Amino acid sequence: MSHTSPLIGVTMWALAPKDLQYVRNVYLDAIVMAGGQPVLLPMTNRPEFIRQNLDMCDGILFSGGADLDAATYGEEHKSQFAPVKLRDEFELELMRLCLEEDKPFFAICRGMQVLNVLKGGSLYQDIPTELPGKLEHVKLTDDQEFVDVRHTVFVEDNTLLKDILNTDTLSVNTIHHQAIKKVGDELIVNSVCEDGIIEGIELTNKKFALGVQWHPERMAATDEKSFALFKAFIESAKEK
């Protein structure tokens, strides 16, 4: 592509049953700060449009949002959050194409869970009820808690995440009530919470196929490590 800044497609949020698609500005701001140009990708289940979305972008950012339908990993949906099946269909197919063509992508929160499910993994639908005794990973009261509520993550050796961050431990923000249960095929765990919850996964045979459970976009403007994740992603998207 002829443009200087890589085009980064950003998947959008949706809340059922509201007729609404949106994305928080912090995702876009983090991409711009790291040298990319964000492009919003409306949901569709039409294969030709999904293909066009992929072809016009140098990389894809899979954003956070509502829970995947548990049917996507073979379970009955018990979450209090109604699924948005169109988003599930769109993101699973878009990510499948990313992997098929080795298009760089960064998968955040829900995005990481999409990666795990796409590769045959499963999820705990609610940490407090299925894993009692774990840390409180979510407090849905105000946006500031996307930054303020923290826990420690242990970064695994011999991972892309370790290469980018060059640290063994990391203090991350947390706002999720679901977590990886069965790790998908070919995926490796790149980080784990102090309570044992998986906080990051990646594929080693791709240019950049990285997922994290926390929200680095919320801290990229003030936190060096969070910004480093976006910078590494954008640099990978620049490579031809």
Q: Which of 57, 91, 93, 109 is catalytic?
A: 109
For residue 46, what are its two tokens?
């039409």
- Supply the pLDDT for residue 14: 84
Active-site residue 193, yes or no?
no
Q: How many residues does the chain have?
A: 240
HSE toward the beta carbon, residue 97, CA cutoff 13 A:
18
Mean predicted confidence (pLDDT) in 66-88: 93
Mean predicted confidence (pLDDT) in 55-72: 96
Phi-psi category of 115—alpha, beta or left, where left has phi over 0 and alpha has psi -120 to 50? alpha
**Between these two residues, 144 and 134, which has the higher pLDDT value?**
134
Active-site residue 217, yes or no?
yes
Q: Is it true that the peptide bond before 216 is cis, omega within 30 degrees of 0?
A: no
- Does the pLDDT at position 164 exceed 70? yes
What amino acid is encoded at 165 in this protein? Answer: L
CA separation, residue 117 to residues 30, 59, 72, 121, 204 (Å): 26, 20, 7, 5, 17
- Supply the pLDDT for residue 175: 84
For the chain, the average pLDDT equals: 92
Q: Is it true that the peptide bond before 17 is cis, omega within 30 degrees of 0?
A: yes
Q: How many helices (H) and strands (E) does the chain have?
A: 8, 13
For the chain, the helix, strand and coil percentages under 3-state DSSP, each to the nearest 5: 35, 20, 45
- Supply the pLDDT for residue 20: 86
- Supply the pLDDT for residue 42: 93
CA separation, residue 134 to residues 120, 131, 194, 198 (Å): 25, 6, 9, 12
- Does the pLDDT at position 1 exceed 50? no
**Between these two residues, 67 and 138, which has the higher pLDDT value?**
67
pLDDT band of residue 79 (cuts 50, 70, 90) is confident
Active-site residue 57, yes or no?
no
Which CATH number is 7-238's, of 3.40.50.450, 3.40.630.30, 3.40.50.880, 3.40.50.150?
3.40.50.880
Q: Which of 137, 151, 177, 215 is catalytic?
A: 215
Q: Which of 93, 199, 202, 217 is catalytic?
A: 217
d(CA 96, CA 119): 9
Mean predicted confidence (pLDDT) in 145-151: 65
What amino acid is encoded at 193 in this protein? Answer: C
Span 40-51, pLDDT tens digits: 999 999 999 999
187, 203 Cβ separation under 8 angstroms: yes
User: What three-state secondary structure class fits 71?
Assistant: helix
d(CA 75, CA 208): 29
Least confident of 104-113, 133-142, 147-156, 186-195: 133-142
pLDDT band of residue 2 (cuts 50, 70, 90) is very low
Least confident of 8-17, 116-125, 161-170: 8-17
Span 8-33, pLDDT tens digits: 999 999 877 778 899 999 999 999 99
192, 154 Cβ separation under 8 angstroms: yes
Cβ atoms within 10 Å, residue 132: 7
* Phi, psi for residue 164 in degrees, rounded to 5: -75, -45
* Percent of the chain predicted with pLDDT > 90: 78
d(CA 45, CA 91): 9
pLDDT band of residue 144 (cuts 50, 70, 90) is low
pLDDT band of residue 82 (cuts 50, 70, 90) is confident
- Does the pLDDT at position 158 exceed 70? yes
